[in-house]
Structure 1
Amino acid sequence: MSVDSKDIEAVRLVVAISSRALFDLSESHRVFETQGVDAYREYQVAHESDILSPGVAFPLVKKLMSLNATLEQRGRVEVILLSRNSSDTGLRVLTSAHHHGLDITRAAFTGGASPYRYVSAFGAHLFLSADPLDVRLALDAGCAAATVLPASAPSAEAHEGQVRIAFDGDAVLFSDEAERLFRREGLDVFNASEFASAHEPLASGPFKGFLFAVHRLQALFPQDASPLRTALVTSRGAPSHERVIRTLRDWGIRIDEALFLGGMRKADFLRAFDADIFFDDQETHCEAASLHVATGHVPHGVANG
């Protein structure tokens, strides 16, 4: 898909992120959990000059924001901080962001309340958080959201190059309708149904809008020289692959790589793809993937109750 010149100015990618997904706040979070909110506030104020270390999603954010320099246009990719901190305790977070060279200008500090309601108000295409409740609330409100799993974050300096984003299919990019059939009737019935419905596009999942926004940003670059690369990494295999391919074609969305694994482990392929982040609805896949790449669990669909 190419972007018409009159629409180019409208092409933006907005990502909302929580402070604990962006930075390593494990020490101060322990203070909060063991000593309460007052002790937490005192701790953060006392340490507000101490720069926070990068968290799991920091490399992804750093690389996404670097696209503005590539495009020579500030704000084409925007990252917004959404935090349960108060403005007092959040000062350390913004100070750390600016110290690390993140051009974050918009933030919401909600003083303990869930910030999910501001995801759509800011026009964000994606919300990343370390709080599963906030993620579920955002998904229920129709926003693409994922819980960032704990993992050691690689240094931003050693993690350069293309932004590489990988997605599961069912219950992430697509609805969970096919997954429900698989769980209810088994693989043979699932394959037969998907083969028979090959020309019928799958319904949208919670991450279709985010993928579409990424795709529009990709269209600003030559296809063979894009700093953004996407991959579909799915347990589906033949013959259920055809419906997926035709669905993406119907949506007008290009996926750079499509891996139909037929039930094989995803983690090794995600490591080979060198994903900056992977989104999946099943916790077992997420836990395995998080040993190799940053991973976001999408608590949506039949696999999540």
Structure 2
Amino acid sequence: MPYSLTDKLVIGISSRALFDLEHENRLFDAQGVEAFSCYQREHEDEPLRPGTAFPLVQALLGLNALLPARRIEVVVISRNSPDTGLRAFNAIEAHGLAIERAAFTGGARSLVGYLKAFDVDLFLSRNPGDVQEAIDHGVAAALLYDPPADFRAPAGQIRIAFDGDAVLFSPESERIYKTQGLEAFIAHERLHRHDAMAEGPFAKLLMRLSALQREFAAGTCPVRIAIVTARSSPAHARVIHTLRDWGVNVDEAFFLGGAPKETVLAAFGAQMFFDDQDSHVRPASGHVPAGIVPYAGGRLLPDAAQITSPESPCPPAPR
């Protein structure tokens, strides 16, 4: 029987998000595909260091051993060629990651079709264009920042933190704040405090994670979910009512009222933090792995796009 991914939590990830390939990417940018391909072949048996998403991927895959059936799948979806992609698979084996599936697309113009073919629930990448396109086509995606230098993942746990507006929830309320100011925002949220907000790009991922939590007996689930938002009272009430409407319980929620997020995230020990604002993601990325979520139909913020050059769109290596 064919193996179905439709009932799994599927993480799609680029090789640069999973492993540290920044030196190799700079080589591609400076010297081109032939130099890059030769380098990858010459070093394909050398282990790669973990990248930004490595702690999250490692922890998620570890969940499978705690469940009666395999529920988490990770698929490498890369613009590298199959030839140059061999080094990534060698690194996967060296690190003992249970990743069996990959799409090495050899510089394909678009990855969206492959993301949907693999039923991807979340796509993590270092390529701004790929992330934007995924979001525009309804796939939850984030552009990852450089990993923190001294991050240590909490042993035996998975901790994921989300911003609220424009990530879990629609950007409607945030637009009111930006266009009409704080007083109009508070008045709007107070008026609609019992009305559930529309789903944002990561709502379905949150629901998937919440469903996964329910597969564990009470008090035994290693997955903890937090909302870390700039909202404060009285705007917090609508968040709670929205989660109730969705049938989702989060483990922790922080309503910071504009206070810095990074110290709370460090205390929480997030293996990944998702936010739509560079002003939050950049300082957070010095403490925990973090990624920025672009607006559908919009652009990543210019300074966010400058955190990395696109993942090398490597066609098949020349013979």
TM-score range, shorter chain: over 0.9
Aligned partner of 1:94 in structure 2 is: 89
Is 1:144 the counterpart of 2:140? The answer is yes
Write the distance in 1 (CA, Å) between the matches of 2:160 and 2:175: 26
What aligned pairs does 1:44-59 form with structure 2 within 5 A after superposition?
A: 44-59=40-55
Is 1:293 the counterpart of 2:303? The answer is no
What aligned pairs does 1:110-189 form with structure 2 within 5 A after superposition?
A: 110-113=105-108, 114-152=110-148, 159-189=154-184
**In the alignment, which of 265, 272, 287 is matched to residue 267 of structure 2?**
272
Write the distance in 1 (CA, Å) between the matches of 2:195 and 2:63: 36
Q: Structure 1: which amino acid aligns with 2:292?
A: H
Q: Secondary structure at the match of 1:67?
A: helix
**In the alignment, which of 19, 23, 26 is matched to residue 19 of structure 2?**
23
Bigger fraction of residues in helix: 1
Aligned partner of 1:215 in structure 2 is: 210
Once the 2 structures are TM-superposed, how far is the Cα of residue 304 of structure 1 from its aligned partner? 4.9
Q: Structure 2: which amino acid aligns with 1:46?
A: E
Q: Structure 2: which amino acid aligns with 1:262?
A: G
Q: Structure 1: which amino acid aligns with 2:19?
A: F
Q: Secondary structure at the match of 1:224?
A: coil
Is 1:39 the counterpart of 2:38? The answer is no
**In the alignment, which of 252, 258, 271 is matched to residue 257 of structure 1?**
252
Cα displacement string for residues 189-247 of structure 1 (whole angstroms, at most 9, x for unaligned residues): 10011000111111110000111111111010123221100000000001111111101
Alignment CA distance shift 1:190-1:304 (3 Å): farther
- RMSD of aligned residue pairs (Cα, Å): 1.8
Contact 1:59 1:153 in 2 (8 A): no
Once the 2 structures are TM-superposed, how far is the Cα of residue 154 of structure 1 from its aligned partner? 5.4
Cα displacement string for residues 98-133 of structure 1 (whole angstroms, at most 9, x for unaligned residues): 111111111100111242331121111100001111
Contact 1:59 1:159 in 2 (8 A): no
> Percent sequence identity over matched residues?
51
Q: Secondary structure at the match of 2:86?
A: helix
Aligned partner of 1:3 in structure 2 is: none
TM-score by length of 2: 0.88
Q: Structure 2: which amino acid aligns with 1:135?
A: V
Write the distance in 2 (CA, Å) between the matches of 1:227 and 1:128: 22
Aligned partner of 1:5 in structure 2 is: none
Aligned partner of 1:6 in structure 2 is: none
Once the 2 structures are TM-superposed, how far is the Cα of residue 185 of structure 1 from its aligned partner? 1.0
Cα displacement string for residues 62-116 of structure 1 (whole angstroms, at most 9, x for unaligned residues): 010000111153x311100001100000000011101111111111001112423
Alignment CA distance shift 1:277-1:118 (3 Å): same
Write the distance in 2 (CA, Å) between the matches of 1:119 and 1:256: 29
Write the distance in 2 (CA, Å) between the matches of 1:154 and 1:49: 26
Alignment CA distance shift 1:153-1:225 (3 Å): farther
**In the alignment, which of 226, 233, 254 is matched to residue 231 of structure 1?**
226
Aligned partner of 2:237 in structure 1 is: 242
Alignment CA distance shift 1:129-1:153 (3 Å): farther
TM-score by length of 1: 0.92
Contact 2:151 2:288 in 1 (8 A): no
Once the 2 structures are TM-superposed, how far is the Cα of residue 53 of structure 1 from its aligned partner? 1.1
Write the distance in 1 (CA, Å) between the matches of 2:155 and 2:112: 30
Write the distance in 2 (CA, Å) between the matches of 1:124 and 1:25: 23
Question: Does 140-149 or 216-225 show the bigger shift?
Answer: 216-225
Unaligned runs of 5+ in 2: 302-319
Write the distance in 2 (CA, Å) between the matches of 1:174 and 1:153: 31
1 or 2 for the larger relative contact order (CA 8 Å, sep ≥6)?
Answer: 2
Q: Structure 1: which amino acid aligns with 2:167?
A: V
